Amino acid sequence: MKKKLNTHLIVWGAALALIALVAVGCSAAATPAPTTTAPTAPPAPPATTAPELQGDMIRGGLLYDAWWEAIGAEAPTADQPLWKTQTTNTRTGPDTWRCKECHGWDYKGVDGAYGGGSHKTGFAGIVAAQAKPATEVLAILKGSTNPDHDFSTVLDEQDLIDLALFVVGGQMDTASWINADKSTTGDAAAGKTKFGEVCQYCHGPEGNAINFDSIEEPEFLGLVAGDNPWEFFHKVRFGQPGWPMPSGIANEWTDDDVANVLAYTQTLTTEPAVSGGGLLYDAWWHVIGAEAPATDQPLWKTQTTNTRTGADTWRCKECHGWDYKGVDGAYGGGSHQTGFPGIRDATSLSAEDLTAWLTGAKNPDHDFSQVLGEAYINALVTFVQQETYDSADYINADKTVNGDAARGKAKFDNTCAACHGTDGKKINFGDAAEPEYVGTVAADNPWEFFHKISFGHPGEPMPSGIALGYTLEDRANLAAYVQTLPTK
């Protein structure tokens, strides 16, 4: 096993060196060279060898997973033309365009894990193609062997080169690390350390801070690791397309490291840490993938002070507040004022009573069962009973926060910065004219900030702070730090 590992290291090393060279080339082009010595051009290769392809094998691995996520394009809608040549895998649309859907997470196609089950297509793997020159693989990706295998219609030259480099240099044989019954040869104790150094900052110590599926069918790391260890290996080595999840290869993780983390992750819970009700409370239609309501919520007409209309009137938070205190809290004044009560007193109600409130039995105009199914109503009940909190000790009426910004910075840099940027400006929730960053939210509405970091953001894989193990004090520290970041 050690021997194999070393071979991989050498392959990775070579690829990394290549990437480093490309990176150096790029930065040298962008910034004036600091030294006076001009770089000497390397001797031209002998005319007989094919030109080397220059690119990023790790990016190729991300493209192999879901290329449109990696390049930020729309997902294709029609089936990939080759799809009709098989009948066993009944998926349609975008899935049929994923390299992995036809060739497998283990790269073995019909000879591997996709040799049976709902993903079976009968298509071959790409293991043998590792021996081909990258230029030949590039040609295959442009349809040289079969015009229906032409991906140049959707991907540009550099994308295809990166994919070719992945095919010849990025694959690995997981057979030494993953057993047929999906267990692994990895060492869970060693994996726990690595998990704590990297993964827990986004996925949480129990692996359940980011839900990959729905409230009805939650899917967390522990489930993926047990269910599809080959997918786990691929994602941990290359990262997650479209998200700044780190690549194990880029961080010089060995295959043993990945297997160790897999072993540890397989011991983690498959149960959620929070109900998901906090996301529904924020904007339920984004969570369940429904259309935003167009008319006003029936209770809306019983107030006149808040002049919003339509979807906003259906947000629990719009009537009951980000601080859960309704008229007795931050929404006791200003443009959001409705005069409606809070839900803090309802934490002591029974599940039956709360369900009765949410399904219209207490007040027919407070019926959410028409738009939210049972699982969602239950999540909201759990949220109201167990997951709301009183932030009064941490957030003052003038919006200042009693927190330690230095401690908050450590948390921000470890978790939030990957997505929001170290200055919090990488994601703009507003628009170019009126930008809104995490710093803006923390300054303008610390109660909203608290809620968002506790539960995440509806419809996005932002981790839940409660699942990350944040106490109220941790959340206050974060708010204090983020209030120091740019607001425009």
Segment 298-337, which members bind ligand HEC (CB under 6 A)? 299-300, 313-314, 316, 318-320
**Where in 170-209 is the site for ligand HEC (CB under 6 A)?**
198-199, 201-203
**Where in 129-168 is the site for ligand HEC (CB under 6 A)?**
129, 137, 140-141, 145-146, 149, 151, 163, 167
Least separation in angstroms between CB 1 and ligand HEC: 21
Give the tokens for residue 353: 């009573």
The residue range among 4-12, 182-190, 363-371, 392-400 that interacts with ligand HEC, by the rule CB under 6 A, is 363-371
**Where in 10-29 is the site for ligand HEC (CB under 6 A)?**
none
Going by the DSSP 8-state scheme, the letter that residue 109 receives in this structure is B
Q: How far, in Å, CA of 93 to CA of 158, rounded?
A: 24
DSSP labels for 328-384?
A: GTGGGSSTT------SSGGGGS-HHHHHHHHBTSS-GGGB-TTTS-HHHHHHHHHII
Alpha helices in 72-154 (DSSP H): 99-103, 134-141
The residue range among 24-32, 44-52, 92-100, 110-118 that interacts with ligand HEC, by the rule CB under 6 A, is 92-100
Q: How far, in Å, CA of 466 to CA of 205, rounded?
A: 11
Taking CB under 6 A as the rule, does residue 461 contact ligand HEC? yes
Going by the DSSP 8-state scheme, the letter that residue 37 receives in this structure is S
The residue range among 5-13, 170-178, 179-187, 238-246 that interacts with ligand HEC, by the rule CB under 6 A, is 238-246
Binding ligand HEC (rule: CB under 6 A), the pick from 18, 58, 65, 80 is: 80
Binding ligand HEC (rule: CB under 6 A), the pick from 182, 419, 435, 473 is: 419
Beta-bridge mates of residue 109: 124
Taking CB under 6 A as the rule, does residue 76 contact ligand HEC? no
Q: Which of 328, 64, 331, 183 is nearest to 315 (CA)?
A: 331
Binding ligand HEC (rule: CB under 6 A), the pick from 449, 464, 467, 477 is: 449
Residue number, 27 or 145, with CB nearest to ligand HEC: 145
Taking CB under 6 A as the rule, does residue 420 contact ligand HEC? yes
Give the tokens for residue 217: 């069918």
Q: How far, in Å, CA of 472 to CA of 446, rounded?
A: 13
**Where in 268-287 is the site for ligand HEC (CB under 6 A)?**
281
Taking CB under 6 A as the rule, does residue 457 contact ligand HEC? yes
Taking CB under 6 A as the rule, does residue 57 contact ligand HEC? no
The three-point CA angle 443-444-450 to 5° equals 75
Q: How far, in Å, CA of 429 to CA of 7, rounded?
A: 46
Binding residue count for ligand HEC, defined by CB under 6 A: 86
- CA-to-CA dists, residue 418 to 28, 33, 404, angstroms: 25, 29, 21
Contact 342, 324 (CB under 8 A): yes
Least separation in angstroms between CB 415 and ligand HEC: 4
**Where in 375-414 is the site for ligand HEC (CB under 6 A)?**
380, 384
Binding ligand HEC (rule: CB under 6 A), the pick from 243, 337, 356, 472 is: 243
Binding ligand HEC (rule: CB under 6 A), the pick from 165, 441, 466, 467 is: 441
Least separation in angstroms between CB 462 and ligand HEC: 4
Binding ligand HEC (rule: CB under 6 A), the pick from 340, 447, 450, 455 is: 340
Please name the residues in contact with 382: beta carbons below 8 A apart, sequence gap of 6 or more: 275, 277
Least separation in angstroms between CB 81 and ligand HEC: 8
**Where in 204-233 is the site for ligand HEC (CB under 6 A)?**
210, 212, 221, 224, 232
Q: Which amino acid is at 406?
A: A
Binding ligand HEC (rule: CB under 6 A), the pick from 89, 174, 266, 297 is: 297
Q: How far, in Å, CA of 115 to CA of 108, rounded?
A: 9
Give the tokens for residue 148: 């229906």
